[in-house]
Structure formats: structure tokens, C-alpha cells
Amino acid sequence: MAASLTVAEYVQGVLAADPATLARTITLLESRNLDHQRLAQRVLAELLPHVGGSHRVGVTGVPGVGKSTFIDQLGVNLTAKGHRVAVLAVDPTSSRTGGSILGDKTRMSRLAVDPDAYIRPSPAGSTLGGVTRATRETILVCEAAGYDVVLVETVGVGQSETVVADMVDFFLVLMLSGAGDDLQGIKKGVLELADMIAVNKADGDNRARAELAAADYRAALHLMRPASPTWSPPVVLCSGLADDGLAELWAQIEIHREKMGASGELEARRSAQQVRWMRSMLDERLRDDLRSHPELTGQIDDLESCVRDGSLPATMAVDQIWDLYVAARSSG
């Protein structure tokens, strides 16, 4: 990608909410080219006075729970009320099948053509680090462009839930009915992250099953200590397809923001997220620098083999790799 715009042109285009410049700025953020990354950081520095004003909401759920239909309906409801909505999809799982722009815009057909909405999938990749960096910075750029609601959808499963929860103000977990058996398979960690559980597809003949599921989820949450003294995660019923319960759900998200803001927890949460982000980027940079010395690759592979077959303790291998790295840095 040729960086043909100046810092001022990127900044002015984003602040003017020009869709083409917004897309180019996010592409710049996603680039692994060092020159592009330096330029992107200069652009971000200029945009920082204009960020921080959005509702940052993470949305997760198992495949088939109806995330895309839910987000599409919630998004158009919010734009109808005067909000501007950005949807970012985090998918670290596949560079071949996951998170395509066409796929996201097909599944969210109404939001995709809404002039007050913007949909952007994350760059699919093999590491969460790069995806996390790009998505966090994309949130800031979307806020600078005037989007006051940013919905971050986890497309992948597993660790992506944790990283998304650590970049948003509110983490919504969508669940299905039939919880009796499913409850056994719910990861405790996901429930601990949740600021709200919404049993989706609670319509028609499925309503009664959804109510039973909600009771099971409330019982499960009751056994856990809330992460905040100000907020106990509610369990609600909704249907993205029927647009049922979404207004009440969003009202709860606004109450959460008001309470957390008044107690100072929202500001503290964002500050802690920034520090953890800084540390994770530092870890990533150190790992990248370690891999940038090709002369160490074979020696590291040999040490890994020794750890694997039990002939060398992992702690000793780390000491040796670190000594090799320090020597390579000194000689370079």
C-alpha cells in the first residue's frame, strides 16, 4: 500500500467522517510496513484529542447464536435514534475463511447500506497481538470520525473473547435456550467477563425455553462474585430477528455507563486497559525483535527440541535464548 496522503490529510479526512479516508486510515493502521506504522502513529497522535466519546460494546456468542442478525437490528435501531454506529469484527482464526468484508456486509445487510453506520472486519491473522493492535486503534479512529457507538464482535472463539473484553466498556454475551445441557459447557471465564447475558432467539415457540435458560444463567451468575461493586450482570431475553427486547437491552447498557461513569470505574477501566495494551505491545515487539535475528533461529529450534524431549528444563532454555538474544543485539 502506497501511503499517498499526508498526516494532515488523513486527520482532516477522518474528522470530516469521509468514508474513503476512514478506510484508508484503518488500512494504514493494519499495515505491517514499518514506515506505514510510523505514519499511522503520527496520525493517531493528532486524533487523540477527539477520541473516547463512544459506547464501546463487545458482543460475543457461540456460532449460531445469531450475532450478525442481532447486531444488524440493534445497529439500525440505534442509527434511527440518531447514533452513528461502527461495527468491528475480531477474527484471529483464519486468513482464508473468516471475517471477509463481503461476509460481514452480507450478514448485516441493512446496516451495510446505512449512511450512519460503518462495518469493518479485522485483518485475519495468525496472532491475536496484531489483530488486537489494529482493532484497538480502529476504535479510536472511528471515535474521531464521530461514531458514538462502537460494537466489537468476536468472530473467533476462545482467547479472542478475552482480548475483546479488554478493549470495551461493556461486554455482552449472547446465549441460546436449551441451557440445561449447554450450561455444562459454558466456560466460567466467559461468564466472569460478561456485563450482561442476553438469551437470543427468545421468540415464538422458543420463548418458554428461553425463559428457562435465563433462569439457569441467573443461577450460574449468582454463584460468582461480580467484577464491579456497582454492577451486577443482568440476564435478559431478546430476539434480534423479531426486534424484541433490544430497546430494553440497550437501556441497560446506558444505565451501566451512567453508573460506572459516576463511580469513576469507567475511567479506571479504560486506564487499566491502556496500560495492559502498552505491556502487550511491548511483549509483541520484543518477540518480533527476537525473531528478527535469523542467526538465532536454528539455535532456538535446537533448544525447543531439548525442552520437548525433556533433556533441558524450560527455565534453562529461556536463560540460554536470552543470552543468545542479548549477544546478537550487542553485536548488531
Please give the Cα distance from 157 to 169 (Å, whole number). 20
Q: Are strands 85-90 and 196-199 parallel, antiparallel or unpaired?
A: unpaired
Q: Which is more confident, 248 or 62? A: 248
Domains, the chain, in order of start with CATH, read 1-50 (1.20.5.170), 52-263 (3.40.50.300), 277-331 (no CATH)
**Residue that the C-alpha cell 430476539 belongs to:** 239
Q: Are 193 and 226 in contact (CB under 8 A)?
A: no
> C-alpha cell of 213?
435458560
pLDDT in tens, 91-123: 655 444 444 444 556 678 899 999 999 999 865
pLDDT in tens, 23-67: 999 999 988 888 898 999 999 999 999 999 999 999 998 888 899
Q: Are 65 and 174 in contact (CB under 8 A)?
A: yes
The interaxial angle of helices 314-331 and 265-291, nearest 10 deg, is 70
- pTM summary value: 0.86
pLDDT in tens, 181-202: 455 445 667 888 899 999 999 9
Task: Look at residue 158 and tell me whether its pLDDT is greater than 80.
Answer: no
pLDDT above 90 coverage of the chain, percent:
60
Mean pLDDT estimate for the chain: 87
Residue 293's pLDDT is what?
87
